[in-house]
């Protein structure tokens, strides 16, 4: 699902594992934007981060392999 823009604090669910991730950082490298994700659970302080390339289209931005959870009420 595409959103208008990816912002800090958004929660995205990993499609493979069902785990929720929080967007903690966004940055650009030349022509590509990346999001840094950290697990959204009680072990978040000890968990590693994941770097995901932001995909942009006419519909908006999305993270491949992740679903934006804040439009649904099941997070």
If one counts every other C-beta atom within 10 angstroms of the C-beta of residue 36, the result is 16
Query: pTM here?
Result: 0.84
Give the strands of the sheet with 32-39, arranged side by side.
49-53, 32-39, 20-29, 11-14, 66-68
pLDDT given for residue 45 in this prediction: 73
What is the average pLDDT across 42-54? 85
Q: What is the pLDDT of residue 40?
A: 87
Please check the confidence at residue 41 and state whether its pLDDT lies above 80. yes
pLDDT at 65 (0 to 100): 95
Burial (Cβ within 10 Å: 0-12, 13-18, ≥19) of residue 58: exposed
Half-sphere exposure of 32 (CA within 13 A, CB side): 9
């Amino acid at each position: 699902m595409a959103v208008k823009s990816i912002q800090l604090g958004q929660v995205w669910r990993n499609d493979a594992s069902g785990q929720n991730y929080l967007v903690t950082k966004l940055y650009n490298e030349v022509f590509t934007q990346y999001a840094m994700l950290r697990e959204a659970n009680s072990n978040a302080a000890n968990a590693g981060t994941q770097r995901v390339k932001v995909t942009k289209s006419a519909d908006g931005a999305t993270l491949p392999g992740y679903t934006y959870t804040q439009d649904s009420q099941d997070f």
